[in-house]
Chain A
């Protein structure tokens, strides 16, 4: 019984069901086991039960004519099939299912399940909308097929929206080995730090701030050197750096993307600009520091200028590469279909270069942090680079490491945000890559 409840909790449709109803569902379930090669049902058989794979694997082949994008699917533990038994217009099987190895299943009668949900219609609707999502997203069937799940309250069933799907993905991620491997990786890093500095006290490491010292300082309400998560200055430094990054990254994107697009698009324009561009680009950002200070007043604009410069080159160059790598047949096809030059630019060149543009923006945000810290170390009154530099001259060693860790966290967050924006704008690519198993 408990075993069945656990299995139900792992399956997508029943995941969010309250425990008392889950137990009632488990009461309807029967266990059975099959040998390799057993056919559980054929297409066209009468659909009576819904199945959930407990162990083993099942080959699920949808019949042609149902317009599944991927008719073949292999089901593993926790996967649900035989859902034709709960559809209100279908009482025959849409697929053939064969056990690929020794397989244990639980089966639940579809009508009994529906009768059970009549007594708790809200839960029933959630489960059925999850069935619909599963049929549409995982079995790649059209929404018309998925729309035939029954509903119990007066409100019509809708597909599970972004949030439920995200929550499901999150819970799947937590069940996979990925998060644990990630924590192990961090664990190894921190353990090495702790052991080399504080336990073994290796020759050149002994003077470095150790893990415990840094952590105590970082989380202290009354920090020895004046900077911890409880001091307002800490957040002021973060905010000043983030603000500089935002301004510089925004300017670099707004100027770099159009420049890159035109560099890739117009051969004449490239003849003028590209050689100049290529001569300026290899000059390291640090070499610009004196000129930046001479050129701009105050301490703020030179830092922003330096940060902008590195980002700008990365963005413009990648965008240009993106335009150059677009397959010529796309522009030719657009010309055949009657698109003007400007329409081709808007509809083909810009979206075609989008994957490269976002690669460029990823690089751009990375080098932005790099040159920001370089700039802040030379001039500026606030910011994380300034913290690191002044802590060194004033012999506040743990604060250096606090600044470094904070940079790591904020930098990672910023590039994750850029990646998310890219995924949001390029749904076609996300879906394509997902089909390739990435």
Chain B
């Protein structure tokens, strides 16, 4: 554990990249002429290297925000910056998707027709920055680091869903991204697999300090992983309360039985429940 701590500290001293600044972002959907506000004047500052957990009920508009950062959707007004560089703003409503911000999708998006190794090597191969041999060597060693050796030549459909998620994260990290955007990636996993995945994610995070923008509706997951929780109000989406999780990193699963964890859970559960009720009575479609 000590070695991990030192590594983490070292990483912190170096100039971290990947700070996200969201300034007064509004997103209005206009299907069939009836304007629906999905994101309402949302502002949020995420320092580089932070695990920021975006918590809110299903369908509150969190994913809209993620899609705007990733460059899948436009925004109606406001600005989003990555390390003081404008991603999208008034003149450029839609960000360009790029390998500095990689999304880990809700249902997983490993290409089923490529072996795990080919999936991991995909990013650098497409960008053509390195030689083929270098890329595959790097992919193999990164997979080995994440405990994935032996599954290189399997197709994603042949391994468990937990392993698939890990391959997907390694595929993202191959590109040395500044930000990882998680869109409820563990939603479909059972709670036991989930707990294993959480520890594995933290382990990977301690080795590669990137900014993590993590959407979830699972409070337990949010408090266990995050430096900060941003609790979102239901549609339109807007930060309602920001809570610092003052449990020191690195964490392991004993955190779940600590007093501080229980206190935080008590503090937040009321807030989240209130929003869930609002979303439920509004009858919003999930998404």
Contacts and interface: CB of A to CB of B under 8 A. Distances in A.
Contacts of A144: 150
A336 B155 contact: no
B158 A142 contact: no
B82 interface: no
B6 interface: no
Nearest to B159: A69
B173 to A, nearest CB: 11
Given A69-B158, A329-B109, 5 more contacts: A332-B103, A336-B70, A336-B101, A429-B113, A431-B155
A428 B105 contact: no
A134 B109 CA distance: 32
B109 A338 contact: no
Contacts, number: 89
Given A338-B175, A428-B157, A348 B151 contact: no
Nearest to A350: B113
B189 to A, nearest CB: 17
Interface of B: 70-72, 97-99, 101-103, 105-107, 109, 111-115, 122-123, 126-127, 149-151, 154-155, 157-160, 171-172, 175
Interface of A: 67, 69, 142, 144, 327, 329-330, 332-340, 343, 347-348, 351-352, 354, 426-429, 431-432, 435
Contact of B126 (A339, A351, A354): A339
B157 A329 contact: no
B113 A338 contact: no
A329 B103 CA distance: 9
B178 to A, nearest CB: 12
Nearest to A333: B109
B52 to A, nearest CB: 19
A337 B113 contact: no
Given A343-B126, A347-B126, A338 B154 contact: no
A332 B70 contact: yes
A335 B126 CA distance: 10
A338 B97 CA distance: 8
Contacts of A348: 111
Contact of B154 (A69, A329, A351): A69
A144 B97 CA distance: 40
Contacts of B151: 67, 69
6 contacts: A69-B159, A144-B150, A327-B109, A352-B113, A354-B113, A432-B157
B105 A329 contact: yes
